Each structure stands twice: as C-alpha cells, then as structure tokens.
Structure 1
Amino acid sequence: MELKDLDLNLLVVFLQLLRDRRVTTAAEALDLSQPGVSSALNRLRKLLGDDLFYRTGGGMQPTPYAEELAEPIGEALALIQQTVNQRSTFDPLASSRRFVIAMTDVGEIYFVPSLMRAISKVAPGVTISTVRNNRVTLKEDMEDGKVDLAIGLLPDLKTDFYQRRLFRQGYCCLFRVGHPFDGVPFGVEEFAAAEHVVVVSAGTGHGKADDLIERSAIRRNVRLRVPHFVALPYILEETDLVATVPERIALRLASSFPLRYVPHPLSLPEIQINLFWHAKYHREAGNQWLRTLICETFSE
C-alpha cells in the first residue's frame, strides 16, 4: 500500500476506537455519525487487509495486528499535530480562547484569584474553566486537549507529560482568633488535646499528609469531616476546631478570615506542587503562553 492511498483521518478513527472500544462513543468523541465511523473502519480494513477489531460483549477488541499498529500510529499522528501546532501563534490581547485547568478546590482558593488578576491585565478576552485534577479520565482528557494544564501533586502523570515545579510547601494548623490555643505554644500535646476538622481529599498531596497523621502515634479527636476546603474558614471561625492545611492556604485564609495558623507540630514532609501538560501540546502557542504566565505568577 502506498501512503497516497491512505486518508490520515482513517487513522484518527482507528486510534479513537482503540481508546473507546465502542463505535458510538468514538463517534461522539470525533463529532461524527456512527455510520461514518463504521464506514471509515471498513475502508481501513480493506486497505490494511485485516479486521482490526472484532465485537465482544465488552466492546470492540483489537486484533493482534491492530495492537502492533497502535503505538507507531499514535506517535506519528502526535508528531504531525505537534509540527502543525508549532507554527501557530497566540495573541493574548486578541484571543477569546477558553482554557481548562485541572486542580483541587484548595488549588482554586490559592491559584485562581491571582491568576485571574494576571490574565485580566494581559488577555482580557481569555476565560478559564477549572475541573478536578483527580478525575479518572485526566490523562485522556489532557491528551485529547479537553484539559490544557493540571496543577498539583500528580504522580500518575509521567509518560507523555512534561512538568515544572512551582513551589514546595509544608503544613500548618489553622484555628480561629481567640481559640484556647491562640497565643500559647502549640505542640504535640496541644494537637492531641484539640478537636479537629478533617478535609477528606483522597489521592491528593493533602490526602497523603492526612494518612501520615492517621498512622502516627498521635490520636486525633476528629469531630468533623468535610469533602472540600470551601467551607473550612466558616467552620473554623465559629468553632474551637483545628484543621491541618497546606501553609500557603493557611496564609491565604488567615488574610481573609479571623484565623490564626501555627507550624504543624508533627513532622510532615513537604509537598511539591507542579504544573503539568501533555507532550502533544508542548509547542502549542496558547498552551505555552498560559504555562509561562502561571510560572511567572506562582513559581518560587
């Protein structure tokens, strides 16, 4: 077969079917009709002389030949897209592009206000949407361009991803002004005697720190568990509860609410907050611009 006989769009359909394993799902992702995807698959089968996929109860399963083709075709199409994007330009003053950034709710509290101030000065038409960085489809969404960047402690984003460190931070204990522990040394005994509110955040850097506390010899008196940080300052200012939080969040919340923070009495490791992006968009001009802006705004 000669390359001139091959429509590259057929390979795009092939890779989407490999990812989704269902014609209907692949059609939705590609914005095509289901018959259109089936027709493309039939054309590719004739060109390559292989069934490529066979139907099972679990969806479309690739043949051994399709599995052999998957990696080299994926790399080839990624290189083509990267080469085309490399020549594109991005004018922040004129752009009305919407960028999607994956981060936790605690990331929204720390990053979003300063980021939006910075964007409003240099790119008044650009908009930002945030999504959670612990979503199970994050890798695929970033590869597909549905999510532009991710911020946090994300050890699963390794292969095919670039990353840059923004900063490292430790942990503090946060409580209200006028708390019984306000103004007195806050050590391990005080930590053990306090009543605590815990933000349940599995799979994040904060979740790992909380696991270390649970495995330590110190037993916390946990009176409240909440699934996010948004309500935390309102809870703390009205109660005698104590919260373990990253130090930059403690600083941000204490500047807006009547709260105090002190160094954490337990030896918790610092966490590193990184900026991540998919290799496919490493040279894409808009992605480069936003990465640069975030690094200039937040990097140590």
Structure 2
Amino acid sequence: MEKLANIDLNLLVVFDLLYQEQNTQRVALRLGITQPAVSHALKRLRHLLEDELFERTSQGLQPTPRASRLHPGIADALARMNDTLNLCDDFNPAKSERTFHINMTDIGEIVFLPRLLQHLSRHAPGVSLNTVRSHHNDLKNEMEEGEIDLAVGLIPQLGAGFYQQRLFVQRYVCLMREHHPLAAEEFSLEAFRTAHHAVVVARGTGHGIIEEQLAHAGVVRPVRLTLPHFAAVPYIVSSSDLVVTVTDKLAEATRTRFGLAIREHPLTFPEIPINLFWHRRFHQDPGNRWLRGLMFSLFSE
C-alpha cells in the first residue's frame, strides 16, 4: 500500500503501453507527449519498483521477469478503471431499470405524471418513478445526498448549490361544477364573495399567497370546507356548489373528466413560476440529464 500511494496513475499507463509497444517513441505518440517524458516516467518507475522493468535489446525494450509478472494485474486494473469511468458517460433509457425520485406536489402529480408515464412506457419501459414530498431543509439535504433526483414547483428555498430551469408559469382561476348556478354568468367579485368556497391549505407550497392576497384586499367569503391538498378538489367540486381557487394547469387537467367550469378570478394574483431543480453534484449525471431534458421537452412553454 505504501508503494501504491507513491505511484502516479499516469506511470502505470506508461508501463502498460511500454509493455505493448516496446518502444518509447511509439508510446510518446500514443500519449501525445515527448519521448524524453516517457523516458523520465520509466526512470521513476524503475526507482519506485526497484527493478529495470525493461531492457534494451535488438528487438526493442523487452520486459524483465518482474515486469512480466506485474503487467497482467496492472493491465486488468487499468481496464476496469477505464470501464468504470466510461460507465459514468452512458445512460440508455431504453435499457435502464433505474428508479428516479422526484419531489412534487399533488398538483404536480396530476399535471406531469400522465404524459410522463406515457412517454416512459414507449421509450423507457424499465424506468420507474417515485414521487415524494419533502420540505425545506429535508429537501435540500435529500437532493444533496442524491436521495431525490429532481424537484419541480415553486420552491424558493432551493438557492445556493442548485440549478433551476423554468418550465412554465401558472395563474389562479376559479373552478366550479359545469352547471353551477354562477357558471352561466360573469364571475364577478360580488359573486366570489357570496359563493360557498372550498379552501386548500397546502403548507410549504407557496399557495398560501391566495389567503394573503384576499386578506390584503379585505375580501371575506364563506368557507365551507378546508383541505390540506388539491387532489380531492375535482371530486368534491363536481358534486357540490363549492367554488375553489386553483391553478390553471390543475383546472385544465381536470375540467373535461369531472365536468367542471373554469372562470377568470375576479382578483389579480402574482403568476406562479414552476421550475425544475437539481443539485449541482448531479449536474453531469447522465440519467439526471436525460430526465430533466425529457421534462423540459414535454412541459416547457
């Protein structure tokens, strides 16, 4: 182990090529260095391994018995190292059986997963997805450790150490059943104030801005149901007279299937940027690159 710590990996590459070529000039050409540099490397190897290693003969440099014993192990180690390094550059989605972990909300699952899974079934049938929900420091740590590959949404806490790419922006609309008494007319601020509402309190997602803006505008409306997530909203709204404020992407994704009506919101809210996030440690990871490229090609606007 002591000798290994003192040997430059490049010296072993020179040793392997000298064994193959038996000529310092040809080795220099293959490595793109000068012949004196090859000779200097051989001199260092002789000193470190305490053997001549190669003797000059009329047939060129011939390995000593010790060099002949060393070469199979060195050549095998270099080949395995080369295979390992090249493995980092390969990702074949058609053959991969990798499971990717994506942090997203229930809205994200409704908006992204149907199209994403359709694509995977055709082009990457062995690839699996696992959606997770982590918040704040947990999310940062899990992405840094590689436990989560990508995060998608409005996640302002992912700053230093993270890359991000804009997919699209969302806006807020009002969602109600198609034959709601208020769906046949303009949905005014007064109609909004008097309608019965469902409210989603999705902590840690940025959607709290809805209640903040309403409070700031002094708008009060009767709330009949409070939910911790959006997934149940289309089921509930389609079978009641409740009105709910949701993103336009969720509204469009559920309108036809659940028989819903979308109305412009009578109040103006800031648009919501939806970004794709990944940790800089995995910026060059081939699988991560492939998945975020796929997400961008499918969903960017």
Q: Note whether the superposition's TM-score is higher than 0.5.
A: yes
Query: In the alignment, what sits opposite 2:63?
Result: none
Identify the range of structure 1 (144-153 vs 222-231) with the bigger mean alpha-carbon deviation.
Answer: 222-231
In 2, distance between residues paired with 1:177 and 1:108? 24
**Runs in 1 of length 4+ with deviation above 6 angstroms?**
none
Equivalent position amino acid for 2:139 in 1: L
Q: Percent identity?
A: 48
Residue 198 of structure 1 aligns with an amino acid whose one-letter code is V
Task: Kindly state the Cα deviation for residue 207 of structure 1 after the two structures are TM-superposed.
Answer: 2.2
Which stretch shows the higher mean deviation, 110-119 or 123-132? 110-119
Size of the aligned set, in residue pairs, is 222
Structure 1 residues without counterparts, runs of 5 or longer: 6-83
SS at match of 1:256: helix
Shift of the 254–154 alpha-carbon distance from structure 1 to 2, 3 Å rule, reads same
1:143-292 alignment, distance < 5 Å: 143-292=144-293
Q: Which deviations, in whole Å up to 9, do the C-alpha atoms of 1:51-102 show, x marking residues without a partner? A: xxxxxxxxxxxxxxxxxxxxxxxxxxxxxxxxx6994310000000000000
Corresponding residue SS for 1:93: coil
Contact in 1 for aligned 2:143/2:278 (Cα 8 Å): yes
Q: CA RMSD in A?
A: 2.0
Residue number in structure 2 paired with 1:295: 296
Contact 1:85 1:285 in 2 (8 A): no
Structure 1 residue 4, shift from structure 2 partner: 4.0
The 3-state SS of whatever aligns with 1:206 is coil
1:136 is displaced (CA, Å) by 4.2
AA paired with 2:214? I
2: CA distance, partners of 1:209 / 1:175:
17
How far is the alpha carbon of 1:133 from its aligned partner? 4.3
Aligned to 1:54: none
Q: Distance in 2 between matches of 1:245 and 1:232?
A: 9
**1:255/1:133 CA distance change after superposition, 3 Å:** farther
CA distance 1:192–1:156, shift in 2 (3 Å):
same
How do residues 65-84 of structure 1 correspond to structure 2 at under 5 angstroms?
Answer: none
Residue 216 of structure 1: how far off its partner (Å)? 2.2
Query: Is the 1:197–1:222 contact (alpha carbons within 8 Å) kept by the matching residues of 2?
Result: yes
Separation of aligned partners in 2, 1:4 and 1:103:
46
Q: Which residue of 2 aligns with 1:92?
A: 93
Structure 2 residue runs of 5 or longer lacking an equivalent are 7-84
**Is the contact made by 2:136 and 2:157 (CA closer than 8 Å) also made in structure 1?**
no
The one-letter code sitting in structure 1 at the alignment partner of 2:291 is L
CA displacement at 1:233 relative to structure 2 = 1.1
What is the letter of the counterpart of residue 254 of structure 2? L
